[in-house]
Structure 1
Amino acid sequence: MRKRILLLEDEQAIADTLLYALQSEGFEVRHVSLARQALEAFHDSPPDLAILDIGVPDGNGFDVCRAMRKSSELPIIFLTARSEEIDRVLGLELGADDYVVKPFSPREVCARVRAILRRSAGAVPATLPAAATGVLALDDQAQRITYAGELLALTRYEFLLLATLLRRPERIFSRTELMSLVWGDAPHTADRTVDAHVKLLRAKLRERGVQAEVIQTHRHMGYSLRLPGV
């Protein structure tokens, strides 16, 4: 069954380019140019992923994302001509999975869509071996992280950040190292984005019942991960 993509983009030339690229990859795409239409399409026939332009005539993609997040963990990618750090951080804090700044390569957008859909496809409860129960466990091949036998719903950069820390428990990573390892494909992202994502990860882990500060802050040094129960 073909994956359904909802595309909110008011610039027809950009929309046409993305429509062609995504449809060529086998996706079913519904294109709208207004925020109101995007929400109507979302409620009418929920897509598998949404690509939202931030600046549209009757609102913005941030508000559309907020509305969608009230009832869904739908994967979301933002498209925008803005490159300011505050916009990137706001989009990610709203729960976006990725952020693409114009001009961009349609093939790159397609690659990011495929990667996000592969990860979200596993975002359902799963049974793990008993040895993994009660601790964080990383499955690199499936690109997923579990806690107490249940998969964590993580955005792209949340997954990459937590996976990096999980591979080397107790090892302190500086912000510069994490920027290179996690945000290597987004060189214009500021290192304060690391702090924002650590905050988001801690909140998600607390929601799952992780009481201790699993992600440790080391003043003037960086971050490390202490496995629960260790």
Structure 2
Amino acid sequence: MGNRSELTFTGSHTMTTIAPKTILIVEDEPDVARLATIYLEKEGFRTVYAKTGEEGFQLTRSERPDMILLDLMPPEMDGLELCKKIRSLRETASLPVILLTTKTEEPDTIIGLALGADDYVTKPFTPKSLAARVNALFRRLDRTTGAPQAAYSFGPLVLDRSRHEVINDGQEITLTAKEFGLLEHLLQNPGRILTRDVLLNAVWGYDYFGTTRTVDVHIRRLKQKLPLLNEAIVGVKSLGYKLIEPLPRH
């Protein structure tokens, strides 16, 4: 597992080598890990494998992967604890994390989202659905990174798309990819009711199937990190959310 391959483009005077994105798979079931590895490498990704949570944490710091597929129950350190540790470190705080769960782990899945996971895939999964989730999350990150320079403000809060940073009262706030995407979409549409399906399609980047509860979890986490949004982001019953435009300062 995890052989590195590179794509090389040549021109009349230059040669550029682009290394594939690296995905760390933290999974103690060999068959699941093998299936994920085979199909992700077919998609052109490089994979790294860890069988335990502790090993996964060490590889996160040494390999600096572009994304983590994280089983909820690996030995030594469970997925919830590992997710929490990843989000606590500045150098890995924004690292995309997709949980690998079973249907019986739904409460833990919600906790995992609350701790900072960006998405989840239910086992047993099909290779097609796993690849779709991974590619969708990378597309979202690429769109944000490659977006033209633009900034949105909300009172003392400033979101800078070109730098992918959020500043509140002069202090930088660390957000996950999904939290940043949700905040960006809300700031782009002040005063407009955004349904959960609209937010899922806009931020997750694909036609989401399953519960929309993940939006509620991410909105709640966004409010925890940015208390000035507690009353500004209003839930609209049975629909979604709306960002109330701030009153002008006098």
- Alignment TM-score, normalising by the size of structure 1: 0.73
Q: CA–CA distance in 1 between the matches of 2:189 and 2:70?
A: 35
**Structure 2 residue 221 is matched with structure 1 residue 203:** no
Q: 2:223–2:229: 8 Å Cα contact kept in structure 1?
A: no
Counterpart in the other structure of 1:49: 67
What does the per-residue CA deviation read over 1:108-166, in whole Å, with 9 as the maximum and x for residues that have no partner?
2122212222333466698735xx55359xxxxxxxxx725653544447735863x55
Aligned residue pairs total 210
Deviation at 1:101, TM superposition (A): 0.8
Counterpart in the other structure of 1:226: 244
Q: 2:179–2:219: 8 Å Cα contact kept in structure 1?
A: no
**Structure 2 residue 38 is matched with structure 1 residue 24:** no
For residues 151-170 of structure 1, what are the structure 2 equivalents within 5 Å?
151-152=164-165, 153-156=175-178, 159=181, 163=185, 165=186, 168-170=189-191
Distance 1:220 1:83, change over 3 A: same
Which of 5, 29, 53 pairs up with 1:35? Answer: 53
Counterpart in the other structure of 1:141: none
Aligned CA-pair RMSD: 3.5
Which of 140, 157, 168 pairs up with 1:119? Answer: 140
If you compute each CA radius of gyration, which structure gives the higher value, 1 or 2?
2
**Structure 2 residue 115 is matched with structure 1 residue 94:** yes
What does the per-residue CA deviation read over 1:157-179, in whole Å, with 9 as the maximum and x for residues that have no partner?
7735863x556532345xxx425
Q: CA–CA distance in 2 between the matches of 1:123 and 1:221?
A: 26
Deviation at 1:212, TM superposition (A): 7.8
Deviation at 1:186, TM superposition (A): 3.6
Q: CA–CA distance in 2 between the matches of 1:223 and 1:158?
A: 16
Q: CA–CA distance in 1 between the matches of 2:128 and 2:193?
A: 35
Deviation at 1:197, TM superposition (A): 2.4
Letter in 2 for 1:70: S
Letter in 2 for 1:185: Y
Letter in 2 for 1:134: S
Counterpart in the other structure of 1:140: none
Q: 2:95–2:176: 8 Å Cα contact kept in structure 1?
A: no
- Amino-acid identity (%): 33
Q: 1:52–1:78: 8 Å Cα contact kept in structure 2?
A: yes
Distance 1:218 1:79, change over 3 A: closer
Q: Secondary structure, in 3 states, of the residue corresponding to 1:74?
A: coil
Counterpart in the other structure of 1:63: 81
**Structure 2 residue 87 is matched with structure 1 residue 74:** no
**Could you list the runs of 5+ residues in structure 2 that have no partner in the other structure?**
1-18, 166-174, 202-206
Q: CA–CA distance in 1 between the matches of 2:148 and 2:119?
A: 28
Q: CA–CA distance in 1 between the matches of 2:152 and 2:220?
A: 24
Q: CA–CA distance in 1 between the matches of 2:104 and 2:76?
A: 21
Letter in 1 for 2:159: Y
Counterpart in the other structure of 2:171: none
- Alignment TM-score, normalising by the size of structure 2: 0.68
Deviation at 1:217, TM superposition (A): 4.1
